[in-house]
Structures are given as structure tokens and as C-alpha cells.
Chain A
Amino acid sequence: MLKKNLKFLALSMLMTTSAWADGQLSLGATYNGWNTNYQAPAQDNGYEFLVPVDISYRFAPELKLYGQGEFMAANDVGSAGTYTLSNFSDTILGAELNFKSFGLSSLCNVAFNVPTGDTSWSTKEQNSIVPTQFIDSRYSGRGFGLSAFYGVALPEGRGAYNVGVGYLYSGAFNPSYGNVTAITALKLGDAVFLAANHITPYQDDQNEIIRFSVYQSFATLENNQNYYQLGTNFNASYNWSNPKALSFEGGAQIYLPSSWSTNGGPLVTEVKNSNGPRVYATASYAFGDLSVAGVVKYIFQSDSTLNYNGGGLLAGLGPTYRFKLAEDSDIKLSGTANYINANNNGTDVNGNLTSTQYIMWTIATAYEVKL
């Protein structure tokens, strides 16, 4: 009966599609490889092969449904041994609704994190991949989560101010693997997001965007007791985009000190901030279907004596080329090489802290087609 109803619903939606009905499918293949100047027995290196799939369909001008997921096969060689993965990551299912509220253009987005990934992988991979403060993890294996975002646009001249608020509900996370800190049940902290931007369009699809946002994490719980709370995160950036020539962006990110709890006691703010401020700049230039992009990121050393406190530098460069296959489909090819210098991330033969260097390279392709 339920199946029948679902079929009927799907058919109804297809039948009611009108001039604005459209969708897009993206199927990709990505290879990541990395190496460091670590010496044995901790010869950190690894590779990942990912097959990401993104699909979206707009059933009406106001409503878009989408899904994202990926399959990843990985082999990480780290100081704690060699780990392999062959699994799907979490799946994101979401709906985006455009409507008018208070007479203003508004957007509401609701997304579910469906836990189809391997929740042990983040612990396994963390001692072999490039530190995630330089390059974020490519794999998501978390618990059930729900995020909701609501934003409104306030027209101003030819541009607009946009303001939005988001909430993340983070369900229970399965931390049974590892037990580095004897965790038996972990629930990542919920979070509130407040953001504003100002966008100004110019001729030939050029845009200027100035952004500011605050991300407030709540306490992460261990066995239903306070355990850790990431410090409030402030972000600001300036972006200029020109799809036919030079685009660039510069930004800064600051974290307030985090808080820790001992044996379920109250959260105590760390004396020395474990997350130093960070700045970044990106630029890209389009030569028709070919574009070249570069990134530089610098993380200032923090005062923390508890966690990784080194900071460091990331510099990356890579081209992208888009082959048009037909009016409604194309293939994108891209490659990136990144150099990372992580301060105080290793020890020398005398046991003193010293920097380590990583090289990470990515080769990716994606087939994109309109539905």
C-alpha cells in the first residue's frame, strides 16, 4: 500500500512538472594521493579513490530536492599501521524551498545526514592524512543529523543584503572504535549558525560578495555528559567572481578558546587557545573552458600545550578543463597539487618538535548532465 502511494506520489510529481522542471546529475571519480617526509616507522602516506554522486531535481520553481553521496576506497599508512576502507560515506538528502516571507525573497533548506558511512574511519585516518585544518577530510561517517537553514534577501540598490540563521541537530555518533579517551558514547555538539552577506551583481555575470558569519557549537557529550565544546567560530571574506576572467577571494577565520570537561564536570575554557587564527586567499583565471586556480592558507601558531598548536602553510595550484559533450552534458577534468608545511607536527631524532611537509595531489573527473 505504501509502495503504491509512493509510486502515485512520484508519478503525480512528474506529471505536474512544468516549464521549470529540470534537474542535474553529476557522477565523478577522484583520486587523492599524499606523502610526507616522515621517516619509518611512521611513513605516512596514502591514497583514496572516490566516486561522488550528486543529483538534484526542481519539481517547481520553488522546490528543489537533492541527494549527495559517495563511495570511497582508501589505503592509509600511518604511525598506527595501515588501514583500508571500502565503503559508502554518509548520504545527504535535502529539500530547498524558495518562497516569499515578509514580502522578501526567502530560502529554506532542510538536509538530513543519513548515516550510511563507516563511523570508525575518522579515527583510523586521522594519524595518516594531511591534518584536516589544512585540507578537510573527504569522507563523512557520522551519526544521524538534521540541519535547517532559513534566509531572507533584503534588496539594496542593484544588490542585496542577505541574512540567515541555521541550526544543526547532531545525533548520536558511534565512537566505539578507538577508545583513545575511553569514550563509550559520543554525541557531537549541535550548532547555531548566523550569517550575513552583501552581493552586488555587475555586467557579464560578475559578482562581488562580502560575507560574515558566526558558528556557535554546543557541547559534545560523552556518555550524556559534557565533554568538549569547540570555541565560537567567526568567519569573514571578500569574493569577486568573474566567470570569464579573474576571480579571487580573501578571508579570515578566528576561533575563540574551546572548553573541556573533566570526568563529566562543568566545561572549563582552556587557558591557551588550541585553534590559532587563519587567513586564506584564492584566485582563479578562466581562459574559456580552461581555468587555473590557486590557494594559499596560513594558520598562525596557537598557544595551546594540549593539542596540535603548530599552525602552518598550505599552497595549492591546479587546472580545470570542461569538455562539452552535448547541449546538456559535459565532462570536467581537474588536477591539483598542494604543498603543506605543518609546524611542530613531528619530532626530530633528538625528540624536539619540528615541522613536517606533505605533498598532496588530486586528479578528478566529473560527468555532468541536465535531467
Chain B
Amino acid sequence: MVIKKMLMIFILMGLITAPLFAADASAPNQGIFTSVTGKVTVKTKKGHKTKKAQKDLTVSEGDRVIANDDAKATIRLFDGSSLEVSPKTEFVLSKLQKPTEQDKTIKFKLIVGELLAAVEKLTTSKSSFEIEAGGVVCGVRGTKFSMNCDGKHNPQVQLHVFEGIVYTIDGKGNKFLFHPGPPIKFVNAQQSDNGKPNAPPSGNNNNDKNKGLNDLNGQFQSNIGLNQNKTLNTTQGGTNITIKPVVGN
């Protein structure tokens, strides 16, 4: 009985402390490959060396990761977040920083391909987890989302939110929040999907496909106001011009 109890306590303690050990598996400011399939290479910022990625290889800020056509990999970051790298993907670990015990700044620049991020909760306002692609920056507050970029001159970027909330800053600096839902597409760093929110106050709705219908509806509302006022003034003003004041020189 006592042994059983001890065993349970041991298991529970193991479960509680497991994430701590897992997060420590990669040192601060580093990530570590937890799985690699196919040919994945890492071009290091320091020394400009090219390494073949394999399980337990560490990556640091500034490193560039390239996954070939049939390759894929998973990287766990120092904070416990993970990044799934899809085939035909190239990205740079722009920022992997842990300035204080609580704060962390993580940013990737996606050149082409797709990244799926599962992000550990950010506990301070100074912390951020962002992916930039084709002029669009997506950041999170503890969630799961993917970002895809076709890598062309005028890139198409697709964001897919699975859990939590993702904030997005487009090429014009407009900021949007996205909840889980269908994928959202960006072309030339501007959102292009039907689900696009209203333009920000400084923008305009000219891309709205219902612009013509909204215009008609606006005309109707405007005519109501105008013609009702006209009727009111006529009926309440009597059948003659009520008063014609004297006009000056």
C-alpha cells in the first residue's frame, strides 16, 4: 500500500516537472531538432557553415533552415514551443532571445513554404512570438497557427489559425486579430479573402466586392432622409412661404 502511494507520488511529480525538463532540453536562445525526415540543411550565421540537420542538432538566432522537397522537421524552442517545418520550406530564425527570466522574443522570417507553430503561453507583455512572411507579420499569445508563403516576387501568404488568437500586421501597418477559422490569404502584404474585416479607419472599402450593393443601400438611406425632410418642411411650413424677411443691401 505504502509502495503504491509512493509510486503514485513519484509519477505525479514526474508529470508536473516533465515540461520543465523538456523546456530545458535546448539552452536559452536556442532551438533543437526533435525529428528530421529527408534532407534538411542549416546555414549557420556564425561561421557561415552548412550543416545537415539531424535529431538533437541545435539552431541559434540568425540560422537559416532549408527543407528539401520531400523533407520535414520539428524544432523545439528553448521555451517549449515547437515549430513544424513542411517540405520545400526555407526560413530564418531572426530572433531567439530571452532578455530576462520571464521575457522572450521569438521571430522567424519565412522565405518560402509553410511553418506550423504551437506556441507556449507568453507570460509577460514584453514577450512575443512572431512569423514574418511577404511583408505580413503574424504574432500570437499562446496558440497554434500555420503560415504559408509562395516565395514569389509579389508573395501570397496564407495564415491558418487553429487555436487562440493571432494578431497580424499587414504591409500598411494595419493590425488585425484572427480567431480560429478558415485560412486567410494575403497578396502583396494585403489581406485578400472574403472574410476580410472592414478596412481600418484610415483605409477604404474599395476592395469590398459588395461595394455596388452598399452604394445602392446608401443611396436609399440618403433619399429617405432627404425626401422625408422635404415632406416635413412642406407640410409643416404651410402652403405658402411663411415669412420672407427683409434683405439688406
Which residues of A are interface residues toward B (Cβ below 8 A)?
17-24, 26, 37-39, 41-42, 44, 56, 58, 61, 79-80, 96, 98, 105-107, 109, 111, 122-123, 126-127, 132-133, 136-137, 140, 142, 145, 147, 149, 151-153, 160-164, 166, 168, 170, 173, 175, 178, 180-181, 183, 186, 188-189, 191, 193, 195-199, 201, 205-207, 209, 211, 213, 215, 217, 220, 222, 227-228, 230, 233, 235, 241, 243, 258, 260, 274-275, 289, 306-308, 322, 324, 327-330, 332, 345-349, 353-356, 368-370
- A37 and B247: CB pair below 8 A? yes
- B227 and A215: CB pair below 8 A? yes
- B236 and A197: CB pair below 8 A? no
- Chain B: interface size category: 35 or more
List of B residues within 8 angstroms of A197 by Cβ? 212, 215-216
> Contacts A181-B235, A201-B206, A217-B227; is A38 near B179 (CB within 8 Å)?
no
- A39 and B232: CB pair below 8 A? no
Specify which of A38, A151, A260 lies most central, judged by the most chain B CB atoms within 10 Å of its CB. A151
Which of A168, A189, A205 contacts B206, CB < 8 Å? Answer: A205
List of B residues within 8 angstroms of A161 by Cβ? 212
- A20 and B202: CB pair below 8 A? no
Q: In the bound complex, how far is the Cα of B243 from the Cα of A346, in angstroms?
A: 8
> For residues 217 through 234 of chain B, which have their beta carbon under 8 Å from a beta carbon of chain A?
217, 219-221, 223-234
Q: List 29 A-B contacts (CB under 8 A).
A: A19-B180, A19-B182, A19-B195, A20-B196, A24-B201, A61-B194, A123-B232, A126-B236, A132-B230, A136-B225, A142-B232, A147-B220, A147-B224, A149-B217, A153-B212, A175-B235, A175-B236, A188-B228, A197-B216, A201-B211, A215-B227, A220-B231, A230-B230, A233-B227, A243-B204, A307-B237, A307-B240, A328-B175, A345-B241
Q: Kindly provide the distance from the CB of A48 to the nearest chain B CB, expressed in whole angstroms.
A: 15
Chain B residue at smallest Cβ distance from A94: B221
> Contacts A38-B245, A98-B210; is A164 near B217 (CB within 8 Å)?
yes
- A22 and B220: CB pair below 8 A? no
18 more CB-based (< 8 A) A-B contacts, given A18-B179, A58-B198, A123-B237:
A26-B201, A38-B246, A39-B246, A79-B245, A127-B243, A137-B229, A147-B220, A162-B213, A183-B236, A193-B223, A198-B212, A215-B223, A235-B219, A327-B173, A328-B175, A330-B202, A348-B246, A369-B201
Q: Kindly provide the distance from the CB of B174 to the nearest chain A CB, expressed in whole angstroms.
A: 6
- B244 and A162: CB pair below 8 A? no
> For residues 174 through 218 of chain B, which have their beta carbon under 8 Å from a beta carbon of chain A?
174-176, 178-182, 184, 194-198, 200-202, 204, 206-207, 209-217
- A151 and B213: CB pair below 8 A? yes
Which of B179, B228, B246 contacts A170, CB < 8 Å? Answer: B228
List of B residues within 8 angstroms of A227 by Cβ? 235
- A142 and B175: CB pair below 8 A? no
- A162 and B215: CB pair below 8 A? yes
Q: In the bound complex, how far is the Cα of B206 from the Cα of A42, in angstroms?
A: 47
Chain A residue at smallest Cβ distance from B249: A37
- B220 and A20: CB pair below 8 A? no
Q: Kindly provide the distance from the CB of A263 to the nearest chain B CB, expressed in whole angstroms.
A: 13
- B178 and A19: CB pair below 8 A? yes
